[in-house]
Structure 1
Amino acid sequence: MKTIAIIDRHPILRTGLDFFIKDHFKEVKILGSENVAAFQQSFPRQSLDLVILGFSEHSSTNSLSFVNMLRKQYPKTALIVYDDRPDASLIVPYLKAGVNGYLSKQNSTNKLIECVEIVLEGKRYVCKEVLELILDEYIIENKALPANSFPPLTPREYEIAKSLIQGIKTSEIAKVFGRKLGTISAMKTSIFKKLKVDNIVKLREMMTVS
């Protein structure tokens, strides 16, 4: 029997994942908790086959430390990050820290099941949307940026930022760049974090001043 921990602050999501995983894997034990500290307190000596670590937009600031904490306590346990808003700048650090699977919560539950199956086989899994973010962050960044652009942004992020301040909806931006809506939303979040703004008005003001 496999033992899987689901750590996520949203109880409805934990309950839903519990149902889907038990429906797919007949021999499985699910342990749920709202955060890493609470899980360690409730199950201090529990042996685990897999941890699904869910992140929301509000928990991402400490997310890498949570990964390192779990890796230290459960060095041989497979770890999947299930992220609400993937941040391109954190994806590679997650993988280097020992994350075995990484996917966006905007993927279907079937994709999560696929990720669980592959990771439990000892392989790595990264969803398509996250792979696109990695490509934009680490390959396309070698292209030249305009002289008045922002150094923290990749060329793709800069183009998306320009579209955002022009009032173009994320759904339209996704069509223009041939990306899924979830990918553009994740890149928008990354842009806001890098430039330390929290809305389009502030983004427009910053880019206009530049």
Structure 2
Amino acid sequence: MPAVLIIEDHEIVAYSLATIVEDHFPDSNIKLASTFLQGIDIINSGFLTELIILDMEIPGGESYAMVGRLKALQPEVKILVYTGHDEDKHAFSFLSAGANGFLSKNSPMDQVDFAIKQVLSGKTYMTERVQQQVAESFFNKTAGRTSTEPATLSPREMEVLDLLLEGKWIKEIALELNLKLTTVSTYKTRIFEKMKVSNIIDLYKKVRLY
């Protein structure tokens, strides 16, 4: 029974999101906030939420800083940014700030449904378009690095990297690539070492810099 906080000032959009959550989690505890500060007040009142669906342009909002502020109050909360703005310009910044997913309001309902379930299950949600941008950014800028920069990844490590950036778990990557769990874990460790990071969020930030 997930607790969900929807911070969205458009009433129709907010109720549509609430309906999607209720369809899959009938016993869910859902609260709505029409401003960012109202959302903060709900959390400060003691509402322990597992998922926040956050409108990027919410009144009183603070752009990327909203993610950090919300996670400072509840570090384990998952945040899905839901916006009418172009994901090309904003997705990386929100994901780097700690958001667990970024979704356009122009997405079809089945994609909204999938994104909510993906984030609630502990995965990171990105559209194929954003995934492609992340991969291209990395591939296009790995050449010509100095000795102080991360070592080049092998082709197989690149495959694992792409799947990690999609938010897939070790077991899912093993099945998709037909590898043992221990082998995938080893690849993940090597990627983190070469990229000089210790978690997925830092990996996003590192790839974004390339």
CA separation in 2, counterparts of 1:132 and 1:19?
A: 31
* Contact 1:8–1:34 (Cα < 8 Å) also in 2: yes
Secondary structure of the 2:69 match is: helix
Alignment correspondent of 1:202: none
Alignment correspondent of 1:51: 52
* Contact 2:40–2:70 (Cα < 8 Å) also in 1: no
CA separation in 1, counterparts of 2:85 and 2:59?
A: 10
* Structure 2 CA distance for partners of 1:13 and 1:95, relative to 1, 3 Å: same
Superposed CA offset, 1:148-187 (max 9, x none): xxxxxxxxxxxxxxxxxxxxxxxxxxxxxxxxxxxxxxxx
Alignment correspondent of 2:66: 66
Alignment correspondent of 1:173: none
Equivalent residues in 2 for 1:108-147 (5 A)?
108-132=108-132, 134=134
Q: Displacement, 1:20?
A: 2.0
Q: Which runs of 5+ in 2 are unaligned?
A: 143-210
Alignment correspondent of 1:153: none
> AA paired with 1:35?
T
> AA paired with 1:29?
N
* Structure 2 CA distance for partners of 1:128 and 1:59, relative to 1, 3 Å: farther
Q: What is the root-mean-square deviation of aligned Cα atoms in Å?
A: 2.7
Alignment correspondent of 1:157: none
1:82 aligns with 2:101: no
CA separation in 1, counterparts of 2:61 and 2:4?
A: 25
CA separation in 2, counterparts of 1:138 and 1:94?
A: 18
Secondary structure of the 2:64 match is: helix
Equivalent residues in 2 for 1:1-210 (5 A)?
1-43=1-43, 44-56=45-57, 62-132=62-132, 134=134
* Contact 1:88–1:134 (Cα < 8 Å) also in 2: no
Secondary structure of the 1:62 match is: coil
Alignment correspondent of 2:170: none
* Contact 1:89–1:137 (Cα < 8 Å) also in 2: no
CA separation in 1, counterparts of 2:7 and 2:33?
A: 5
Q: How many residue pairs are counted as aligned between the two chains?
A: 141
* Contact 2:65–2:97 (Cα < 8 Å) also in 1: no
Report percent identity of matched pairs.
23
TM-score by length of 2: 0.58
Superposed CA offset, 1:38-85 (max 9, x none): 1222442110110010124x8798320211211211210111111211
Secondary structure of the 1:52 match is: strand
Alignment correspondent of 1:155: none
CA separation in 2, counterparts of 1:37 and 1:60?
A: 6
Q: Which runs of 5+ in 1 are unaligned?
A: 143-210
- Larger deviation, residues 75-84 vs 35-44: 35-44
Superposed CA offset, 1:2-54 (max 9, x none): 10111012111001111122122222111111122112224421101100101
* Structure 2 CA distance for partners of 1:69 and 1:62, relative to 1, 3 Å: same
